[in-house]
Amino acid sequence: MDKGVIVTNRGGISGRRWTEVPIEATIRVLGFSTIGFVLLIFLFLLREGLPIFYEVPTGNLFGTRWYPTFELFGTLPLLLGSILVTVTAILIALPLGVATAVFVRELAPDWVREILKPMIEVLAGIPSVVLGFFGMHFVAPLIRNIFGAPTGLTVFTGALILAYMALPTIISVAEDALDTVPKSYRDAGLAMGATQWQTIWKVVVPAARSGILMAVMLGMGRAIGETMAVMMVTGNAARLPLTFDSLFRPARTMTATIAAEMGEVAQGSTHYHALFGIGIILFVLTFLINLTAASAIFRKQRRGGLR
């Protein structure tokens, strides 16, 4: 395709070609450099993090005790902590997000939509430290008093804050997905004698479900990578969240561990490699989530934007 452009230029005004070539080249370099940066970051992660996998026996590395000061690098509590917080956050954010998207897209009068859409974007702009402070001083005591947990700094508190942070992403993407459903589907639903609610719930939302799945995946990617707010409200206790009450007990996530410990670790030490090792695990997890989201888009495109 590029060649074709150059060929046509060759037949046209010769000056245009000379100005366009460097611009085109620059744009191409910029485009490819994104991939290049991702690759470089991944290589850097591997170089700094891979040594941990042979420096520390696997039993220790996937053990249950994380005491880096004492050569115990069990990443299992951190991995499960991250997963539990993220999944809980998505379970909270998904119904709220989809319901909001349906309301904004399908039900709200125009003037309400005009107010809601920018408000949702403002929601995305709140810095996570601010949400962390809010969680620490306001949500945590509430959780302790309402649920009778020993402390308010729990998985659930973290999940609530994360759900709040993932909401704008989920709402915007889900709303776009609903937007791609053709008007004829709605008209057909209503013409068949379905109520507005039945049309939305049985026709429009299912038609947009791959887009909604993508919204969930993107929200999840946002949630699992979030650091500051989580570090402030989940208590950071590296315990295994296996019991039923784990939701209302503290947990330590991978991101919080890296953030809290990277500042004072000696470069090149086992602990340093361990933190990068966690970085690799996190990178792979986020990559898988994004891949799932991307394949959802791909499926959507193949099916002409529907189902």
Partner 1 sequence: MIAGAYPLIRYFSKTSISIGSLWLLLALLLGACKPQQSASPFGNQATQAIENKGSDTLVNLALAWAEVFMESHPEVCISVTGGGTGTGIAAMINGTVSIANASREMKEEEIAAARANGITPVEFVVARDAIAVVVNPSNPVQELTLKQISDIYTGKITNWRELGGQDRPIVLLSRESNSGTYVYFLENVIRMGKKDNNLLFSPDTLLMPSSEGISTEVRQNPNAIGYDGLGYVTQDQKLVAVARSPEGPYVLPSIQTVNDGSYPISRPLYMYTAGEPTGHVRIFLDWVLTRGQMLVPRLGFVPLAQAPAEPKS
Q: Which is nearer to partner 1, 68 or 279 (CB)?
A: 68
Task: Determine the Cα–Cα distance for residues 118 and 110; give it in Å rounded to an integer.
Answer: 13
Q: Which is nearer to partner 1, 36 or 150 (CB)?
A: 150
Give the count of residues interacting with partner 1 (CB under 8 A): 35
How near is the Cβ of 265 to partner 1 at its closest, in Å?
A: 7
How near is the Cβ of 167 to partner 1 at its closest, in Å?
A: 23
How near is the Cβ of 46 to partner 1 at its closest, in Å?
A: 25
Task: Determine the Cα–Cα distance for residues 66 and 282; give it in Å rounded to an integer.
Answer: 17
Residue 109 three-state SS = coil
Q: What distances in angstroms separate CA 169 from CA 14, 114, 124, 186, one per listed residue? A: 47, 18, 8, 25
Q: Any contact of residue 231 with partner 1 (CB under 8 A)?
A: yes
> Residue 267 corresponds to which tokens in the numbers above?
């470069």
Q: Any contact of residue 240 with partner 1 (CB under 8 A)?
A: yes
- Residues whose CB falls within 8 Å of the CB of residue 302, separated by 6 or more in sequence, listed in order: none
Q: Which is nearer to partner 1, 62 or 287 (CB)?
A: 62
How near is the Cβ of 4 to partner 1 at its closest, in Å?
A: 50
Determine contact, residues 220/173, Cβ cutoff 8 Å. Answer: no
Q: Which is nearer to partner 1, 98 or 165 (CB)?
A: 165
Footprint of partner 1 on residues 116-135 (CB under 8 A)?
A: 129
Angle, helix 155-179 to helix 209-225, in steps of 10 degrees: 150
Task: Determine the Cα–Cα distance for residues 257 and 75; give it in Å rounded to an integer.
Answer: 10
Q: Any contact of residue 68 with partner 1 (CB under 8 A)?
A: yes
Q: Which stretch binds partner 1 (CB under 8 A): 86-94, 137-145, 180-188, 297-305?
A: 137-145
Q: Which is nearer to partner 1, 137 or 299 (CB)?
A: 137
Task: Determine the Cα–Cα distance for residues 8 and 15; give it in Å rounded to an integer.
Answer: 13
Of 9, 60, 151, 180, the residue at the interface with partner 1 (CB under 8 A) is 151
Q: Which stretch binds partner 1 (CB under 8 A): 41-49, 101-109, 236-244, 285-293?
A: 236-244
Q: Any contact of residue 260 with partner 1 (CB under 8 A)?
A: yes
Q: What distances in angstroms separate CA 66 from CA 25, 95, 274, one per listed residue? A: 49, 35, 11
Cα four-point dihedral sign 70, 74, 80, 83: positive
Q: Any contact of residue 277 with partner 1 (CB under 8 A)?
A: no
Task: Determine the Cα–Cα distance for residues 92 and 160; give it in Å rounded to an integer.
Answer: 7
Q: Which of 40, 80, 86 is nearest to 225 (CA)?
A: 86
How near is the Cβ of 70 to partner 1 at its closest, in Å?
A: 7
Task: Determine the Cα–Cα distance for residues 263 and 244; give it in Å rounded to an integer.
Answer: 34
Q: Any contact of residue 152 with partner 1 (CB under 8 A)?
A: yes
Q: Which stretch binds partner 1 (CB under 8 A): 4-12, 25-33, 68-76, 298-306?
A: 68-76
Q: Any contact of residue 65 with partner 1 (CB under 8 A)?
A: yes
Q: Any contact of residue 225 with partner 1 (CB under 8 A)?
A: no
Q: Which of 49, 76, 80 is nearest to 61 (CA)?
A: 76
Would you tell me which residues interact with partner 1 (CB under 8 A)?
A: 65, 67-70, 77, 129, 136-137, 140-141, 144, 150-153, 228, 231-232, 235-240, 249-250, 252, 259-261, 263-266
